[in-house]
Structure 1
């Protein structure tokens, strides 16, 4: 089931005129979404379908960042291997580089493996870097690029990230492309400007959007315990999809999955997942806990409606 979305850039604190980061969307906005629903006129057997604006499959990634030891990762992999995960979700985990081989060789095929970063081109005399070719050699299917910690701690700029994404895609890796604004940028009403600028750097460089998942991660919500309200996240996701429609194509806007990251956990994932344009999650700390990560994966059930 696919529903049409529009966005209004004046609420949820995305413009200076909004007094509160936690404002609810306007009544007309809610009425718009309600108007897209079509209910059957007569009773009939029901089946579960996923209600999302995009046409892609729900996607949940776990970014383990610079955490773990051989023992703790062995335990985490064991928990993931035994977890009962909903079938209609793409699940990916991103271990630290030094444990990639351990994870790819011991993790169930149900879950794919991602790297947390990759080099801009083919390997060679680049001390400390990891090439896409090396990642593929050990079984990685994805790479996370543009994460805020790479942007704001390491100092990678938009164009550099876009070039890395282009090389990874050309060599056959899927890319989880991260975008998101700082707190001061949100408070200054620049959320859309920042996200669109970051999106443009990807769009200017990548050969295709076929293997890209966009992760919206407001920097002020990453690892802070602060979470964007479902309405705030939905609002940005709608805007991102609209930007893709206007600047890339309607087809790309429909099929590209836009996932949310920023202190997602087992308690808040259900409410976030209900939003029409939230197509999944990129999870940080909670992905280090197998049972909780499974709960987040299975939050896809809150998107299911009778049809």
Structure 2
């Protein structure tokens, strides 16, 4: 399976942003957006705005994701939201392991893996985030860091291809998130290729070729076309730009990998 055979994936992570008014405006814009064939789009509002987004969203080419989930089911966990609740609310996706959760909330890779397993059991698909800090990159530890982070998930899922089909891996170099800095095309391709090779060696070649590995980190309308053209980049997890009109341009960048357009 080559890159053009994997459905291009664009996620919009709204993070801790939004009002009822701004959510309505964003959804109105998305309702009129044209989603190319072979592009899957998921947006992640705050937990408080998910219901509003579900109510307003009419574009059948877009699904809604949560930004996080608790590691277990329902219970005495004040302030948390379980995967059981996400599934009950009709949500099909959740973002796990974002660098902001890892750094601000001290979530370990093991916890991210445990969350992944539990969410998948509840029928909620997972966008699992991995990435290195600037210090780790400068020390030459990028490959070690990202494969160790992904390795915790792999330990839990093993070589179960049916499980991996429900997972999207988001490589987000921490030094590029919200900084305006973007990995060069060569840097992005190198890490994505490393991850795919690692998956082949540690799970199976089938899983390596079918798993979507997307890039995140200051993705914009200006750089998305070049990044989307890379053979091992299967889409984007977009932060700030997902709150702007240019998100539509980022979505369209995936059309270049539509086999039917060739």
TM-score, structure 2 normalization? 0.94
Rg (Cα) greater in structure: 1
CA distance in 2, matches of 1:223, 1:140: 26
Shift of 1:87: 2.3
- Counterparts in 2 of 1:178-217, with a 5 A limit? 178-206=129-157, 208-217=163-172
Shift of 1:106: 1.5
| 2:91 alignment partner in structure 1 | 140
What is the match of residue 8 of structure 2? 58
Q: Is the 8 A contact 2:38 2:255 kept in 1?
A: no
Q: CA deviation at 1:303?
A: 3.5
RMSD: 1.3
| Correspondence for 1:280 | 235
Q: Deviations over 1:157-185 (max 9, x none)?
A: 01011000000001100000100000000
1:159 equivalent to 2:159? Answer no
User: Unaligned regions of 5+ residues in structure 2, if any?
Assistant: none
Shift of 1:304: 5.2
Residues 104 and 138 of structure 1 are in contact (CA less than 8 Å); yes or no, is this contact kept in structure 2?
no
The equivalent of 2:79 in structure 1 is 128
Structure with more of its chain in helix, by fraction:
2
Whether 2:100 is the aligned partner of 1:149: answer yes
In the aligned structure 1, how far is the partner of 2:7 from the partner of 2:113?
Answer: 24
Task: Work out the CA distance in 2 between the residues paired with 1:304 and 1:76.
Answer: 26
Q: Is the 8 A contact 2:64 2:92 kept in 1?
A: yes
Partner of 2:50: 100
Given that 1:117 and 1:144 are in contact with CA atoms closer than 8 Å, whether structure 2 keeps it comes out as yes
Q: Which residue of 2 aligns with 1:82?
A: 32
How many positions carry a matched residue from both structures?
256
Q: CA deviation at 1:282?
A: 0.2
Residue 179 of structure 2 is matched in structure 1 by: 224
Does 1:115 pair with 2:70? no
CA distance in 1: counterparts of 2:51 and 2:89, whole angstroms: 6
